[in-house]
């Protein structure tokens, strides 16, 4: 019987240190013998996003395999299924962009059913082996957005976070570069 996947959800606001923390967790896994597969979800739609992507790429060790999600239906679920292995640690950065790109696709990208994409992601999780670290922005802590599209994105991301947190062995909230363990609670490991 395949062991349950070791899922870790790392949440935080913009520039909270969530990606750096997730990368540090991946480095620890690599030190313990795991092969690291970095799954990048962002599509470079403008110069500022290209600069952000380049910053992330520059931090990754040469020993890591870096994969970019293709513009295809169920790409994240399919890539997780294909890449997960007992001797690997998959780092998915980030779910916020992944979901937002499905809810509000950039020009030239076909619209996809975001709910079906989320369902496919959640469905694939129990069958994965090894370790998976998900990075995502906790965007629901501020004031209620005015626009309907923004509210829809905040709501969908909040639901996704709850569903992932329920399935994850560990959940960490990053605030000002500091990791706060939400699950398991410190002292309850």
Residues assigned a catalytic role:
56
Block residue for tokens 């513009």: 71
Contacts of 45 (CB under 8 A, 6+ apart): 106, 107
- According to DSSP, residue 139 is labeled -
Measured on CA atoms in the order 149, 153, 158, 159, is the torsion positive or negative?
Answer: positive
Put the strands of the sheet holding 131-137 in their side by side order: 65-68, 35-40, 88-93, 131-137, 6-12, 170-175, 178-183
């Amino acid at each position: 019987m395949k062991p349950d996947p070791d899922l870790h959800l790392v949440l935080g606001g913009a520039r909270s240190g969530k990606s750096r923390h997730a990368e540090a967790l991946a480095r620890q896994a690599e030190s313990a013998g795991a092969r690291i597969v970095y799954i990048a979800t962002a599509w470079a739609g403008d110069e500022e996003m290209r600069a952000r992507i380049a910053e992330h790429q520059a931090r990754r060790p040469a020993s890591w395999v870096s994969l970019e999600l293709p513009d295809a239906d169920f790409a994240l679920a399919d890539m997780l299924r294909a890449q997960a292995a007992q001797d690997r640690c998959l780092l998915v950065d980030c779910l916020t962009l992944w979901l937002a790109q499905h809810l509000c696709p950039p020009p030239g990208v076909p619209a996809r059913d975001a709910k079906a994409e989320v369902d496919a992601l959640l469905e694939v999780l129990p069958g994965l082996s090894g370790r998976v670290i998900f990075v995502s922005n906790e965007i629901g802590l501020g004031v209620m957005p005015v626009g309907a599209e923004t509210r829809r994105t905040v709501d969908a991301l909040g639901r996704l976070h709850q569903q992932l947190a329920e399935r994850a062995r560990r959940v960490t909230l990053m605030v000002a570069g500091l990791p706060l363990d939400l699950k398991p609670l410190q002292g309850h490991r």
